[in-house]
Amino acid sequence: MLDLKNISKTFNPGTVNAKTAISNLSLHLDPGDFVTIIGSNGAGKSTMFNAIAGAFYVDEGSVILDGKNITFLPEYKRSHFIGRLFQDPLKGTAPTMTIEENMALAYLRNTEGASPFTRISKKDKAFFREQLSLLNMGLEDRMKQPVGLLSGGQRQALTLLMSTMVPPKLLLLDEHTAALDPGTAEKVLNLTKDITTRHHITCLMITHNMKQALDLGNRTLLMSDGSIVLDIKGEERSTLSVEDLLTRFKAGTGKDLDNDRILLSD
């Protein structure tokens, strides 16, 4: 489904500020995989997401999605079939536009053959209302309100819905609950599980919570220095504890995981 084949990316090459962010990285995902990713700051997690989403072109290697080589496909074209949520809940929506207008833009952009100038029908609006009701936040009764009036959790839930109304081939979640309070984060996380399961969406999720990384999905990756150092799944993953994960990380990298945000998360 997704194949990263020996991809590498160096920023500021040939200068004193040269930084190799990912190096000779390979990864294969099967359809429906839900993969959690753990790693310290600078491990290459977000850089890998940017390479997949097309925020830049990789220096070496190739990006294959659903059998199609998208290595040199522009980011705006990849966005038609790759959904992405960021840590900042304000990033995925336009605050001065209404909930309905935000949903219409997302729906038309991701619907094959649709033009951004297509008129939204009553049937489309009913669909938006039905989708919003699944969030259980009462947003279906606020469709004419500007998104800027919503809380961070409501905006993140709306962004998740907008990214999956037309199910993408791949969903990238970059610590999408980290900026939310614990109660709201849990609600958005449960919505994530429900939506990805219902639509059988292949998903990569960066998290700083090691227990969460083992409890969610079917596979866990640990990254360090621009490489995948551990890839755990199946029966091996089901019996692993957080302490085991830390031990495996040290065995795989020769160093302790030193990110306090990860170590102190529960």
Q: How far is CA 34 from CA 60, 172, 197, in A?
A: 26, 10, 9
CA angle 223, 161, 41 (to 5 degrees): 20
Per-residue pLDDT tens digits for 87-143: 998 998 999 999 999 999 998 877 765 555 567 889 999 999 999 998 999 999 999
pLDDT at residue 82 tops 60: yes
Per-residue pLDDT tens digits for 227-255: 999 999 999 999 999 999 888 888 877 77
β-sheet with 202-206: strand ranges across = 82-85, 170-174, 202-206, 34-39, 219-224, 227-233
Mean pLDDT of all residues belonging to the chain: 91
- 112 vs 163: which has the higher pLDDT: 163
- Specify whether the CB–CB gap between 56 and 63 falls below 8 A: no
* pTM of the predicted protein model: 0.92
pLDDT at residue 261 tops 60: no
pLDDT at residue 1, rounded to an integer: 94
pLDDT at residue 93, rounded to an integer: 93
